[in-house]
Amino acid sequence: MTDRSAAARFDITDEQRQIAALARDFAEREIAPHIAAWDREHYFPRSLYTKMDAIGLMGVLVDERYGGVGAGYGAYALAVEELARVDAGSAVTLSVHAMIGAAIAKLGNEAQRAAWLPRLSGGDTIAGFALTESDAGSDAGAIRSTAVRRGDGYVLRGRKQWCTNGTHAGVVMAMFRTGGVGPKGVSAFLVDPKTPGITVERETEKLGIRTSNTCDLAFDDVYVGPEALLGGEGEGFGGAMTALQGGRIGIAAQAVGILAACLDASVKFAQERMAFGKPIGAFEGVSFKIARMATDLEAARLLVYRAAALADAGTPSPTLASQAKFFASTAARTHASEALQIHGGYGFTTEFPVERYYRDAKITEIYEGTSEIQQIIIARSLLGRL
């Protein structure tokens, strides 16, 4: 288990360091040789996640009682960062999967924990998250999909958009309306997408994170038993927001990983590329870009580690999770553009990976709450609801 007192001071523990090293080695060995082709082909590398289980990553947030590693958010953030340094797509697959495991542990009853957590930490079952609908993204409390009681269970109807991991998931945490309008009428359900009546309707082709699966799920009169309800009726919106607090640490860590990759590539290129008889890194126009990139990387990392340490200490801060995501994603998008600029024309080609970092960075400002929504959360924590 995590040394909570050390985590609370956001020192990196030995266990966290080991998990980061395992994730880095895994990414270099299993992903790096294939990533250019997988990105080009929009390929979801399903077998990676079975292999990831062997080094404990799939159960990084799951308690040891349920077959996980129970290493906490610090280790989760480090693992996601290391994966994102090589492939931001597989980093978000793990991030969302782990976020759902944590939500089940926190919001579920003992039967739900016993049913799902060993499967999630075992790598054979990937988890997905289905909140967004075509007319309800940032305004998630406006979802229209319904869960209507039938006998002891419920009948689910509606369509969920852009469900990460959806096609390959063995369980999806999906939000449906059981009551009146607004967030208080929303309940969360744990659903196996292979249940009769659920169809994968569209696999979305994307600008970036192309090794990540994103699909729409249609629910046509899907009967689920009472054991599918996660938390109480009407508690689903709060449950989704709780899950997203942890998830935002993951997306912030994903942005840090992309930023770290941009820095590595930029330093190497600036030392090697010659212009006007010198390495381009000798020009302040280039070296100052790298100095700012490195400084924002360190600042983003500290925000992520601090948000993770507070979560591990049992005092999670939604504001800090939003600040970490807002800062890290802005920095990743900004510096991915600068990294491409440092590479000149080569950066615009697929011969160098920076064009992929540039495409991958953008999504970190959009999903799990856009940068505008993060700023609303941060501002409200200071100003209240005016």
Instruction: List residues with catalytic annotation.
Output: 368
Please, which residue, 291 or 379, has the CB nearer to ligand FAD? Answer: 379
Angle in degrees, 0-180, between the axes of helices 72-86 and 88-107, rounded to the nearest 10? 160
Residues touching ligand FAD, count (CB under 6 A) = 20
Which CB sits closer to ligand FAD, 94 or 96? 96
Of 82 and 368, the one with the shorter C-beta distance to ligand FAD is 368
| Smallest gap from residue 28 Cβ to ligand FAD (A) | 25
Q: Among residue numbers 57 through 116, which ones bind ligand FAD (CB under 6 A)?
A: 96
Residues 194-213 that bind ligand FAD (CB under 6 A): 206
Within 211-240, the residues that bind ligand FAD by CB under 6 A are 214
3-state secondary structure of 235: coil
321-360 in b/e form (b: 16+ CB < 10 A) is bbbbbbbbbbbbbbbbbbbbbbbeeebeeeebbbbbbbbb
Q: How far is the CB of 316 from ligand FAD (least distance, A)?
A: 20
SS (H, E, C) 116-173: HHHHHHCCCCEEEEECCECCECCCHHHCCCEEEEECCEEEEEEEEEEEECHHHEEEEE
Segment lying near ligand FAD (by CB under 6 A), choices 105-113, 124-132, 224-232, 302-310: 124-132
Distances (CA, A) of 29 to 34, 94, 225, 264: 9, 17, 43, 18
Identity of the residue, 163 or 252, whose beta carbon is nearer to ligand FAD in the bound complex: 163
- Does 242 participate in binding ligand FAD (rule CB under 6 A)? no
- Kindly report the three-state secondary structure assignment for every residue of 25-65: HHHHHHHCCCHHHHHHHCCCCHHHHHHHHHCCCCCCCCCHH
Report if residue 176 touches ligand FAD, rule: CB under 6 A: no
Assess 379 for contact with ligand FAD (CB under 6 A).
no
Instruction: Measure the CA–CA gap between 136 and 122, rounded to whole angstroms.
Output: 33
Considering the complex, what minimum distance in angstroms separates the CB of residue 202 from ligand FAD?
12
Residue ranges in contact with ligand FAD by CB under 6 A:
96, 129-132, 137-138, 162-164, 206, 214, 363, 366-370, 372-373
